[in-house]
Structure 1
Amino acid sequence: MKVSFIGLGTMGYPMAGHVSKAGHDVIVYNRSIQKAQTWCKEFSGSSASTPALAAQNAEIVLTCVGNDDDLRAVYLGADGAFQNAQKGTLFIDHTTASAEVAKELHQAAQERGFFFMDAPVSGGQAGAENGVLTVMIGGEQSDLDTAQSVLGCYSKATTLMGPVGNGQLAKMVNQILIGGVLSGLSEGIRFAQKANLDIATLVDTLKHGAAGSWQLENRGETMAKNEFDFGFAIEWMHKDLGLCLSQADKMGFSLPLTQAIDQDYQDLIKEGRGRQDTSVLVKAYDKKA
């Protein structure tokens, strides 16, 4: 298929690479022209100077950018992807953003004769690089069927969560759960260290029981060693949790644990740890001990 990929960040770069490796005809766009040129040297494909030019001949346009404002710019701006696309083009957004902007872009797409799905992903940088992401989709089953051969290039699971916007809502639940797990893991790891338990043995034991989790298995030992140089920076997590808290407020719902965790992340960002992995949450508990 003719596929456009807009946004070659930590996630988008390898995702677009998997689409190219699968044999699709890929054209990419990135705000940094140099990043797009580097991608073209590594993978088979071409680059465009604007989102509009990237989308003009594509059957499917994939986006993975930073936030709501970035999305509005790459879709609705003067050089946005909606400007030159052909009627019937399917747009799929992998950005973690608000449910509101997903619905806004869906409405704008319908008015122009396009199709749109919100499809945030989970699995982090490693999941993107290994092509095993989990994709939570808001949209129509027929559009998912059309896109499956492309989505399958970088995912292990693609699940329709309901109408447009539900993909983003599902991703919010994902981030709420990750924050909660890391909060408990932070306390547990520091408790274990105070108790002089061997962390490697502990992790290898607990991962097989009810306390097992991806975070325990992949971050338990590194948290104990104060190693936090991994893929998903807390600046991004703070942005994501802000979306959760904003959505909860709109629904008249309280997220006290998420709010406390987000405050810890904000404090860590002020310490200059904004680019460190989410597991750096354990450092917040050092101050509370």
Structure 2
Amino acid sequence: MRIGLAGLGVMGYRIAGNLAKAGKLDIVYNRTLSKAEQFSKEYGVKHVTDPKELIKSVDLLITMLADDNSVSSFLMPLAPYAKDKIIVDMSTISPSVSISIANEVMKNGGIMYDAPVIGTSIFAEQKKLTVLLGGPESHVSTVTEVLKETASTILYMGKNGMGLYAKLVNNLMVGVYVAALAEAYNFGISAGLKPEDVHKVLALYGSAKSPTSELKVPKMMTSDYSTQFATKHMRKDLEIITKEAQNLHVINPLSSLALQFYKFAEALGYSESDYVSVLEVYKKANLSK
């Protein structure tokens, strides 16, 4: 089986690297050519400049792109070439958009899976990602065999779109949680607690500790906003959640409020920074005594 990957961003580059090291990647594509050239030089994997050449050259195509428009504009023109192909989209996009693309792929004789991931770039480097898979049950084992080279856990969620809904469930919780962590951290520091003591409560011994607080509170302590998951991506995911909640006729007051805080963080210049930079919103908003 020949395998290709499109999208060599923060996550895509690491996922592609894992596949290349396992000998399971034959060809890559990236819109910014220099990144594809860099990957080819590092891993000895061929790169192409034409998406049509990419899909024609492979049996299974993995995509890891930024948003609804990126995925739709990339995959829709390739749908006519999807006969007997498996497309695995690991992007986090709107389930409704993904389902539309999957239907178009299926009309042309191909199969598509939504396969968003849980985990940061560090998890990708350690091959400890969790993949949430949505699509036909028929080829789950084939897809799993490929993705196990970059993920420690692969969960089949059901039909097309279900992987993405599951990812949004996760990111709703994480987006609200990290905003709450920032609020709690800012509250504690403002009260006069030492950063290391706030860390003990939030990340080590408190009742709300979690792997996320263990990872993010140390970054808050040092204002380390080096990107593991960008603020712009969290904002985008919360916007998707708000849109999908409207489609499902359910309320999402907490994630809607958290969305505003990530928008504020972007307005402060932290769009490309890690989303833990939402802490800066609280710092800037502190009232004068």
Asked if these proteins are the same fold (TM beyond 0.5), I'd say yes
**Does residue 149 of structure 2 align to residue 149 of structure 1?**
no
> Is this contact kept in 1: 2:81–2:108, CA < 8 A?
no
> Is this contact kept in 2: 1:60–1:92, CA < 8 A?
yes
Kindly tell me the number of residue pairs found equivalent between the two proteins.
285
> Is this contact kept in 2: 1:53–1:84, CA < 8 A?
no
Match of 2:282 in 1: 285
Structure 2: which 5+ runs fail to align?
A: none
Q: After the TM superposition, which residues 224-263 of structure 1 pair with which residues of structure 2 at under 5 Å, given as runs?
A: 224-263=221-260
> Is this contact kept in 2: 1:52–1:83, CA < 8 A?
no
4+ aligned runs moved over 4 Å, structure 1: none
**Does residue 218 of structure 2 align to residue 221 of structure 1?**
yes
Structure 1 stretch 191-200 or stretch 122-131: which is displaced more? 191-200
Shift of 1:208: 4.8
> Is this contact kept in 2: 1:136–1:160, CA < 8 A?
yes
Secondary structure, aligned partner of 1:272: coil
Match of 1:52 in 2: 52
**Does residue 131 of structure 2 align to residue 135 of structure 1?**
yes
Aligned partner (choices 160, 169, 186) of residue 164 of structure 1: 160
Q: 2:40, 2:80 → 1: CA distance?
A: 24
Q: 2:93, 2:28 → 1: CA distance?
A: 21
Secondary structure, aligned partner of 1:58: coil
Percentage identity across paired residues of the two chains:
28
Matched AA of 1:65 = L
Deviations 1:90-113 (A, max 9, x none): 110001101111111111111111
Shift of 1:202: 4.5
Aligned partner (choices 250, 258, 266) of residue 263 of structure 2: 266
Secondary structure, aligned partner of 2:267: helix
> Is this contact kept in 2: 1:5–1:16, CA < 8 A?
yes
Q: CA 1:162 to 1:201, structure 2 compared with 1: closer, same or farther past 3 Å? A: same
With normalisation by structure 2, the TM-score equals 0.93
Q: 1:219, 1:69 → 2: CA distance?
A: 30
Secondary structure, aligned partner of 1:116: strand
Matched AA of 2:106 = Q
Q: After the TM superposition, which residues 21-170 of structure 1 pair with which residues of structure 2 at under 5 Å, given as runs?
A: 21-77=21-77, 80=78, 82-85=79-82, 87-170=83-166
Structure 1 stretch 124-133 or stretch 35-44: which is displaced more? 124-133
**Does residue 270 of structure 2 align to residue 276 of structure 1?**
no
Shift of 1:140: 2.5
Shift of 1:41: 0.6
Secondary structure, aligned partner of 1:92: strand
Deviations 1:140-171 (A, max 9, x none): 23321011121001101110111100111111
Q: 2:157, 2:123 → 1: CA distance?
A: 20
Matched AA of 2:223 = N
Output the aligned Cα RMSD: 1.7
Q: 1:195, 1:144 → 2: CA distance?
A: 52
Shift of 1:19: 0.8
Shift of 1:221: 2.4
Q: CA 1:25 to 1:13, structure 2 compared with 1: closer, same or farther past 3 Å? A: closer
Structure 1 stretch 215-224 or stretch 237-246: which is displaced more? 215-224
Q: CA 1:262 to 1:145, structure 2 compared with 1: closer, same or farther past 3 Å? A: same
Shift of 1:196: 3.4
Structure 1 stretch 209-218 or stretch 165-174: which is displaced more? 209-218
Structure 1: which 5+ runs fail to align?
A: none
